Amino acid sequence: MKYRYGELTWPEVKEAAAAKRVAVVPIATIEDHGHHLPIDTDLRLCNAVCEAAVARAADRAILIPAINHGYSPHHMDFPGAITIGAHTLIDYGVDVCTSLAHHGFDTILIVNGHGSNTPFIDIIARLAVVKSGVLAAAVNYWSAPGVREVAERLRESEKVGGMNHACEFETSLYLAIAPDLVDMSKARHELSHRPTENYWTDLVAGDGPLVMMEHWSSLSETGVMGDPTKASAEKGRALLEAAANGIVALVDEMRARVRAPRVDRH
Ligand SMILES: [Zn+2]
């Protein structure tokens, strides 16, 4: 069964929408990921998770081509980053959702692979709901159900900060997906974001209540935040499996959700 949106013919798109398949929209960015990982890390990892998820739920989900570029202005001190303005990114994401809604898809799950897209995917999903009347939601793939448990079990890096960016988590996934593009001889442990009482950041342990994002070049020398030296392909395969299953669980939860009509109570 075809599950990649772009490979469908238009009559097949019509059928997919009529079958209430959930439109899964990956979104990521292109930016520095240390000396050992390619700049496409967020995009490749997010695509791999979504591909694995939708492939195993092809009867009830459809994989939309990813929104490749995201919000990365704080990474522009490192060669490679391509950043999209906040408003442009929101408008772009909403336009994708609006188009899908126009063709009859009534459930949309935005799956994000880049931490700094987080506030924007929330807004995109909210706007899709109010503008198009669809059920839209957003999730960071590392926060999909089941991922945290696996990551905590496998974790060898620092409990807070060791899994952050180009870290044990992301490097493991890349090793599982495309090991030839990872140069582990250049992987460096770097934990230089200076956590304080209410500020810390970690993909798995979560962020502290003080949410802030400084320029990446003031936080990291190599671009790494965390410990990629603890990465392995085996860990990556387990994380990929957990993330894919977690996305499938979200697809099913959204499909099962009871839709109640909007009511004007003036
Ligand atoms: Zn990343």
Q: Is the pLDDT of residue 231 over 90?
A: yes
Q: Where are the alpha helices (DSSP H) in 109-232?
A: 118-132, 147-154, 168-177
- Give the distance (Å) from ligand 1 centre to CA of residue 183: 16
- Give the distance (Å) from ligand 1 centre to CA of residue 72: 11
Let me know the angle formed at the C-alpha of 179 by 174 and 180, rounded to the nearest 5 degrees: 130
**pLDDT tens, position by position, 189-228:** 999 889 999 999 999 999 999 999 999 999 999 999 999 9
Strand pairing category for 135-140 and 225-226: unpaired
Q: Is the pLDDT of residue 100 over 90?
A: yes
The amino acid at residue 74 is: H
pTM of structure: 0.97
Q: What is the pLDDT of residue 193?
A: 86
**What's phi and psi for 230, nearest 5 deg?**
-95, 5
Distance, CA of 78 to CA of 96 (rounded, Å):
29
- Give the distance (Å) from ligand 1 centre to CA of residue 95: 25
- 99 token code pair: 């188009």
**Stretch 60-80: mean pLDDT:** 98
**Stretch 134-148: mean pLDDT:** 98
- Give the distance (Å) from ligand 1 centre to CA of residue 83: 14
Q: Can you give the C-alpha Rg of the chain in angstroms?
A: 19
- Give the distance (Å) from ligand 1 centre to CA of residue 28: 9
- Give the distance (Å) from ligand 1 centre to CA of residue 2: 29
The amino acid at residue 248 is: V
Distances (CA, A) of 57 to 2, 60, 107, 131, 195: 11, 6, 14, 27, 40
- Give the distance (Å) from ligand 1 centre to CA of residue 25: 18
Distance, CA of 23 to CA of 17 (rounded, Å):
9
Q: Read off the pLDDT band of 145 (50, 70, 90).
A: very high
- Give the distance (Å) from ligand 1 centre to CA of residue 266: 46
Cβ atoms of residues 167 and 225 within 8 Å: yes
- Give the distance (Å) from ligand 1 centre to CA of residue 101: 30
**What's phi and psi for 194, nearest 5 deg?**
55, 65
The amino acid at residue 160 is: V
Cβ atoms of residues 93 and 27 within 8 Å: yes
- The full set of domains in the chain, from first to last, is 6-256 (3.40.50.10310)
Distance, CA of 174 to CA of 50 (rounded, Å):
14
**Stretch 147-163: mean pLDDT:** 95
- Give the distance (Å) from ligand 1 centre to CA of residue 260: 37
- Give the distance (Å) from ligand 1 centre to CA of residue 18: 35
- 6 token code pair: 């772009």
Q: What is the pLDDT of residue 192?
A: 85
Strand pairing category for 107-112 and 61-63: unpaired
- Give the distance (Å) from ligand 1 centre to CA of residue 166: 6
CA atoms in the 13 A half-sphere facing the CB of 40: 10
- Give the distance (Å) from ligand 1 centre to CA of residue 254: 27
Strand pairing category for 163-165 and 107-112: unpaired
- Give the distance (Å) from ligand 1 centre to CA of residue 114: 6
- Give the distance (Å) from ligand 1 centre to CA of residue 41: 6
Cβ atoms of residues 125 and 254 within 8 Å: no
**Stretch 29-52: mean pLDDT:** 98
